[in-house]
């Protein structure tokens, strides 16, 4: 089984590499450049209201997850290398993101894309193996071939059958509150900020132009929630709050001085008159 990983290399751009756990297997049938282009072109796509089957056998309408950002991870349960690693990386990243953004700030969906073998029973076993079955905001599901075909096209997910499994893009898709593709995250072991930064934008609504107290509070939380590379996690930078507070006090004092000088000037003019 092999999977393509796309990683950001600073200003140098994107590097697409094919990682294989079995060197004897034939080369992947997926063209990396085409797969990347297809994935990025999906940004902005609206997802259909697909019907999914949860691991407990119940049905879930995809639209039922709208209203909060959604992290979509496509896996197949027969994978023994990339999909388990990607799921473990995602689990750790989700835990850190929730500490920074709020416990109920977004949802996660792990969906099996092998329609023939990723049954609800196998998806449930996958969830138990990775200890994500007890999270009420982490949904584990399978779907019919028709639904999977449509959904994978909407999110720009590429895969091909290969000896012993699949070649596929190691891709996690972030979906906004209205059900549109917002960002793609590549690789099975991605840096924490790659996932959290776009979620932070969606959770705190940085594109909103409202000047309500709630919107302003979210804007402050966005500015003051920062990644600490030394700690390897997000934290609230109270120094930014203090700096903003000091700036506000300085403006108030400056305004007070200007008003006092203006009033003194007016009194002097009246005396001279």
Q: How many domains, in total, are found in the chain?
A: 2
Same domain for 170 and 95?
A: yes
Same domain for 260 and 153?
A: no
Same domain for 176 and 252?
A: no
* 146-166: average pLDDT: 89
Integer Cα distance of 167 and 209 in angstroms: 43
Least confident segment among 22-31, 43-52, 64-73, 247-256: 22-31
Please indicate, yes or no, if residue 211 is contained in any of the structural domains. Answer: no
Q: pLDDT band at 17, cuts 50/70/90?
A: very low
Identify the domain containing residue 262 by its residue range.
248-272
Q: Which residue has the higher pLDDT, 30 or 225?
A: 30
DSSP secondary structure, 230-262, as one string: TTTEEEE-HHHHHHHHHHHHHHHHHHHHHHHHH
CATH code: domain of residue 8: 3.40.30.10
Phi, psi of 74 (to 5 degrees): -95, 125
Integer Cα distance of 212 and 108 in angstroms: 29
**Residue 220's closest CA among 245, 192, 183, 195?**
245
Burial class (CB in 10 A: 0-12, 13-18, 19+), 221: middle
pLDDT beyond 60 at 89: yes
Same domain for 39 and 117?
A: yes
Please indicate, yes or no, if residue 227 is contained in any of the structural domains. Answer: no
For the entire predicted model, the pTM comes to: 0.74
Contact 57, 120 (CB under 8 A): yes
Q: Which residues pair with 17 in a beta bridge?
A: 5
Q: Which of 167, 189, 211 is the last residue of a domain?
A: 189
Same domain for 255 and 122?
A: no
Same domain for 144 and 31?
A: yes
| pLDDT at residue 27 in the model | 47
């Amino acid at each position: 089984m092999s999977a393509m990983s796309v990683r950001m290399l600073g200003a140098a751009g994107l590097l697409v590499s094919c990682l294989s756990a079995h060197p004897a297997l034939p080369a992947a049938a997926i063209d990396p450049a085409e797969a990347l282009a297809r994935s990025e072109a999906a940004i902005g796509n609206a997802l259909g209201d697909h019907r999914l089957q949860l691991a407990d056998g119940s049905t879930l309408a995809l639209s039922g997850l709208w209203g909060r950002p959604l992290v979509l991870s496509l896996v197949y349960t027969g994978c023994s290398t990339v999909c388990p690693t990607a799921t473990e990386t995602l689990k750790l990243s989700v835990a850190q993101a929730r500490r920074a953004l709020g416990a109920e700030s977004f949802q996660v969906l792990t969906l099996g894309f092998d329609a023939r073998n990723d049954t609800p029973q196998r998806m449930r076993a996958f969830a138990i193996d990775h200890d994500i079955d007890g999270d009420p905001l982490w949904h584990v599901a399978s779907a019919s071939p028709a639904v999977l075909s449509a959904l994978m096209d909407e999110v720009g997910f590429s895969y091909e059958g290969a000896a012993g499994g699949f070649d596929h893009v190691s891709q996690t898709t972030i979906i906004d509150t209205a059900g549109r593709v917002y960002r793609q995250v590549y690789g099975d072991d991605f840096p924490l900020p790659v996932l959290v930064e776009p979620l932070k934008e969606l959770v705190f609504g940085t594109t909103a132009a409202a000047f309500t107290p709630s919107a302003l509070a979210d804007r402050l939380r966005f500015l003051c929630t920062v990644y600490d590379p030394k700690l390897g996690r997000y934290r609230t930078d109270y120094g930014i709050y203090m700096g903003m507070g000091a700036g506000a006090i300085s403006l108030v004092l400056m305004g007070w001085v200007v008003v006092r000088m203006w009033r003194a000037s007016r009194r002097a003019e009246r005396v001279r008159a």
